[in-house]
Amino acid sequence: MPKKPLILVTNDDGITAPGIRTLIKVMNSIGDVVVVAPDSPQSGMGHAITINDTLYCKEEHIDEGPQKEYSTSGTPADCVKLAVHELLGRQPDLCVSGINHGSNSSINVIYSGTMSAAIEAGMEGIPAVGFSLLNYNWDADFEATETYIKKICLTVLNNGLQKGVVLNVNFPSLEKEKIKGIKICRQANANWVEKFDKRKSPMGRDYYWLTGEFINQDKGEETDEWALKQGYVSIVPTQFDLTAHHYIQELNNWNLNE
């Protein structure tokens, strides 16, 4: 009998979030599952890691199916590091992160703890996929994502991913029959126009809430934002080499050594 793939499941919304529980259920149908996820929400943590504090890890028993489940006090990136170097015993065949409650399309990928966990796995040489649903509600319906997640993960297991690339998958918040299919996309050129809501505490101390509006300046029809608005699942191949290779020659033309 062929050996089942070992699948690491993590997220940034916390180990009890409905999104990760759905992802675990789907992964249970594919392979042997180990869950290592934060013990509390870690949204917007990006690729933060814990270096000035201790990390705690506790074995959990939440649902039937996974071989093991662990909650940690760390960030999503910490979870992957702990899993790979301390908890699993061998390299997983696949790492999946999510399903995030909310969008990680366009520039949101920079801030995303969900995608940072997938990127951390990719840096370890593990094929990795981050999944997000464009619905921020805790009780969002994730059922429409399940068939697509299974298909994507089986395809990644069969084909692998190029070194240095992970997949950023976003789902529109639609019923299954209304999703038109999958589009392979590029990241849209969009950004947040941010401001701070300044308030005073009862003790007279100033404090701030970050607010803002998401602005998409990109009119292209090959972007993740376009695909999601049209009712498609978007997949963006995402790299973690941040070098602007096209600009190297321009900097050389500055003759900085003269």
Residues whose CB falls within 8 Å of the CB of residue 80, separated by 6 or more in sequence, listed in order: 8, 10, 36, 95, 117, 120, 121, 124
List the one residue out of 124, 153, 132, 162 whose CA is nearest residue 239: 162
Q: By CB neighbour count within 10 A (0-12 exposed, 13-18 middle, 19+ buried), where does 84 fall?
A: buried
pLDDT in tens, 155-197: 999 999 999 999 999 999 999 899 999 999 999 888 877 888 9
Tokens coding 20: 């990760």
Tokens coding 4: 């089942």
Q: Give me the pLDDT at residue 217, please.
A: 83
- Mean pLDDT, range 223-234, rounded to an integer: 96
- Mean pLDDT, range 13-42, rounded to an integer: 95
Percent of the chain with pLDDT over 70: 99
Q: Give me the pLDDT at residue 201, please.
A: 92
- Mean pLDDT, range 116-130, rounded to an integer: 97
Tell me the pLDDT of the chain averaged across its residues. 93
Q: Give me the pLDDT at residue 24, please.
A: 97
pLDDT at residue 2 is higher than 70: no
Can you list the pairs that 51-56 forms with residues at least 24 positions away whose Cβ atoms lie under 8 Å? 55/82
CATH superfamily of 6-188+219-252: Survival protein SurE-like phosphatase/nucleotidase (3.40.1210.10)
pLDDT at residue 212 is higher than 90: no
Phi/psi at 227 (5° precision): -60, -45
pLDDT in tens, 141-152: 999 999 999 999
Tokens coding 166: 């992970």
Angle at which helices 146-159 and 18-28 cross, to 10°:
50
pTM for the model: 0.92
pLDDT in tens, 42-77: 887 888 888 889 999 999 999 888 889 999 999 999
Q: Give me the pLDDT at residue 155, please.
A: 98
